[in-house]
Structure 1
Amino acid sequence: MATLHHVQQGQGPHLLLIHGLLGSLENLNMVAKPMASHFTVTNVDVRNHGNSVHLPDMHYDELAQDIIDTMDSLNIDKAHVLGHSMGGKIAMQLALEHPARVNKLAVADIAPVQYSAHHEQIFAGLNAIDLAAIKSRTDADKTLAQYVETPSVRQFLLRNLTKTEQGFAFKCNLDYLTQGYSQIMTAYQGNSTFNSPTLFIKGGESNYITSEHRAKINQLFPHAKAKIIQGAGHWLHAEKTVAFNKILLDFLLDQ
């Protein structure tokens, strides 16, 4: 349990933003800034990411408790919550196990189900980078390119690299995330339901939410609705920022 590193801006009702695996709060800045015209936006670094605390456990009950601890430290009794990818699973866990703390729930391109271990090449590539030997991000990219083909994905992953007086280091705790990867891929384990307004936003080109997931979503979130952003993949908030923010704002402001 931990109070997470965060950035807060704006005024009005509270809105919490939770990023995905191997990211940081910077990933949701394009959501945070426009939402701050309507809400007090708190954008967090999940444990073992960004500038937050490093702890070995990556079970979702612990990750949700980190959000509760952070809310308590900021005197936030209740908030709207948006989570993307792994952050969406944390947001769902929070809403299902602590429903009194969540007003409306928005989940970006993830379902409350078990996923296959499709990040193994990414972890292998990051762990293959010899931090003591590299002189630049270009050196790191050359190693990572042997495992991850897409340049934009490598660019995203290498944001975790930081230059210190001793050389390069990872801001994220790569060891704990590698060890906890099986926990991160798990389905929701409980029996609760969240009966307040819920919105799932799916990228039209993404396969993270499929028709097979609909029954589980409806079981856990009886008032869930869905929106699809055509032409967007898993990074829908970055690929179609204007459309994403409009969908989110309309949902949050709808009475």
Structure 2
Amino acid sequence: MRCSCLPSSPALEEITVPTPAFLDLRGRRFGLLDFGGDGVPLIALHGTFGRASTFSATASYLAPEFRTIALDQRGHGLSDHGGDLGSDAFVDDAVALLEHLDQGPALLLGHSMGGVVAYRLAARRPDLVRALVIEDVGSVTDASELEHPVFDVTEWPRSFPDRNALADFLVGQGVPALGYFMDSAHGSGGRWRLRFDPEDMMAVQHGNAGDFRADWAASAHPALLLRGGNSPLLSRDRAEEMVRARPGTRLRELAGCGHWVHLDDPRGHAEQVRVFLREVLDTPL
């Protein structure tokens, strides 16, 4: 399925990233991007190696109907690094964010690891959630389901002489989505770095691998499961099994997309999100 029914959406070159805000949650400092506007809040959670700005196109395409608020999750972006990087810690952070925002049951969008955080949060704190959009992640994320559940970055250098050297290194490492990783690139002191520590990313990957089928099936909120048609991480069979296991879930597959659906087809991704959330909001609780 490919869609392009957002005629008023901005061109990608017009998309801007807001100035980051910072807040303290559970004794840690977090970076946050609030894309603003008067729309219905949509809380967005990125995946491993990502940061809040990965949702910039999504936010622009969904505005003004939705106001996207995206968190730099722990160990990523401008948020504090180190410490506990297991799945429960990420869920607890998201709970703290929703309680801090205090805007009622939330619309949650989570990509990859962020999707696991979202549906585990819904299972643990159903009172905080109105609906879920889960992008290209399964209910089992360990070696029993995935051939390569961990992308080994143990030996990655911490800094590079310039931006091109950093990009060339990532290409040489076979990074599957260069732009996604380069979104975390920044220069300071004459060197270029990524806004994550490789050791942290190994801990994040190991700490968020597991069998989460019970969590997936535990909540009853409306859910949209988005799958990239060429995704190497969520098979069609697994996605269909997830729909059968959880009433109230609909599956949409975007042809030609890989794991990063929101980057591979930002307009199609945004339209699927918008249509689903509009139906949710138009349905009385």
TM-score, scaled relative to structure 2? 0.78
Q: Tell me: CA distance 1:217–1:53, structure 2 relative to 1, closer, same or farther (3 Å).
A: farther
Matched ranges for 1:130-145 at <5 A: 131=159, 134-145=160-171
Is it true that 1:88 corresponds to 2:88 in the alignment? no
- The residue type equivalent to 1:22 in the other structure is F
- The residue type equivalent to 1:181 in the other structure is Q
- The residue type equivalent to 2:31 in the other structure is H
Quote the Cα distance in structure 1 between the aligned partners of 2:46 and 2:33. 13
Give the aligned length: 248
Quote the Cα distance in structure 2 between the aligned partners of 1:86 and 1:249. 21
State the SS of the aligned residue for 2:183.
Answer: helix
Is it true that 1:250 corresponds to 2:280 in the alignment? no
1:174 match = 198
Quote the Cα distance in structure 1 between the aligned partners of 2:244 and 2:29. 32
CA offsets, 1:29-52, max 9 Å, x none?
111123231123211111111111
Quote the Cα distance in structure 2 between the aligned partners of 1:35 and 1:11. 12
Q: Tell me: CA distance 1:230–1:143, structure 2 relative to 1, closer, same or farther (3 Å).
A: closer
2:71 match = 44
1:147 match = 173
Report if the CA contact (8 A) 2:41-2:67 is conserved: yes
Quote the Cα distance in structure 2 between the aligned partners of 1:206 and 1:16. 24
2:189 match = 165
2:180 match = 156
Identical-residue share of aligned pairs (%): 21
Q: Tell me: CA distance 1:207–1:7, structure 2 relative to 1, closer, same or farther (3 Å).
A: same
Q: Tell me: CA distance 1:204–1:97, structure 2 relative to 1, closer, same or farther (3 Å).
A: same
Q: Tell me: CA distance 1:34–1:145, structure 2 relative to 1, closer, same or farther (3 Å).
A: closer
Report if the CA contact (8 A) 2:85-2:207 is conserved: yes
Displacement of 1:201 in angstroms is: 0.8
Please point out which of 13, 21, 25 is paired with 2:48: 21
Quote the Cα distance in structure 2 between the aligned partners of 1:104 and 1:57. 27
Quote the Cα distance in structure 1 between the aligned partners of 2:191 and 2:149. 26
Please point out which of 75, 86, 89 is paired with 1:59: 86
RMSD of aligned Cα (Å):
2.4
Quote the Cα distance in structure 1 between the aligned partners of 2:269 and 2:182. 25
Which piece of structure 1 moves more, 135-144 or 103-112? Answer: 135-144
Report if the CA contact (8 A) 1:13-1:79 is conserved: no
Please point out which of 191, 206, 215 is paired with 2:241: 215
TM-score, scaled relative to structure 1? 0.86
Structure 2 residues not aligned, in runs of 5+: 1-25
- The residue type equivalent to 1:123 in the other structure is V
- The residue type equivalent to 2:38 in the other structure is Q
Displacement of 1:122 in angstroms is: 5.0
2:223 match = 198
Structure 1 residues not aligned, in runs of 5+: none
Report if the CA contact (8 A) 2:135-2:227 is conserved: yes
Please point out which of 235, 239, 254 is paired with 2:260: 235
Please point out which of 207, 210, 215 is paired with 1:183: 207
Q: Tell me: CA distance 1:4–1:76, structure 2 relative to 1, closer, same or farther (3 Å).
A: farther
Quote the Cα distance in structure 1 between the aligned partners of 2:103 and 2:275. 23
Quote the Cα distance in structure 1 between the aligned partners of 2:163 and 2:211. 35
Quote the Cα distance in structure 2 between the aligned partners of 1:75 and 1:186. 30
Q: Tell me: CA distance 1:34–1:183, structure 2 relative to 1, closer, same or farther (3 Å).
A: same
1:6 match = 32
Report if the CA contact (8 A) 1:204-1:230 is conserved: yes
Quote the Cα distance in structure 1 between the aligned partners of 2:213 and 2:252. 25
State the SS of the aligned residue for 1:43.
Answer: strand
Displacement of 1:3 in angstroms is: 5.8
